[in-house]
Amino acid sequence: MTRRLLLVNGPNLNLLGVRDPAVYGTSTLADVERITAEAAAAAGFEVRSIQSNHEGVLIDAIHDAREDCAGVVINPGGLTHTSVALRDALTGVSLPFAEVHISDVNAREEFRRFSYLHDVAAVRVIGEGVDGYASAVAQLTALIP
């Protein structure tokens, strides 16, 4: 049986490559999905990807992941700093997850320094650009029996 990860990208990440390239770089969401899939394949996993600007869509995908995924890699975007509901979804499905941020949120505006996920994430990767997704996959899959 193939093992699977859910890759979740939150609001505005569909604009990667266009939105503020000085902060987020020029890689696109398609690049992120490819990087993640390649890293997962190297660890014996496949990836199902979702991006949405709608919190409920992301929560539904996380709920569905409990049926056929071994873990979650998530860049919650702006929901990092605002969503108790996203945190509850991730803890509710009892899957290990990696929180990823492309930029160094700790070196940016004060409000970006707080994460509702920081204390429940199995892995946190911050400020490594899109390569951070591969790092997150490697660290997360190492924790999955």
Where along the chain do its domains lie?
A: 3-143
Instruction: Give the Cα separation of 95 and 35 in Å (integer).
Output: 22
**pLDDT tens over the chain, length 145 residues:** 569 999 999 999 999 999 999 889 999 999 999 999 999 999 999 999 999 999 999 999 999 999 999 999 999 999 999 999 999 999 999 999 999 999 998 888 888 889 999 999 999 999 999 999 999 999 999 999 9
Instruction: Give the Cα separation of 7 and 64 in Å (integer).
Output: 12
Residue from 41, 18, 20, 42 nearest 30 by CA: 18
Annotated binding site: 75, 81, 88, 102-103, 112
Annotated binding site for substrate: 75, 81, 88, 102-103, 112
Active site residues: 24, 101
CATH class of 3-143: alpha beta
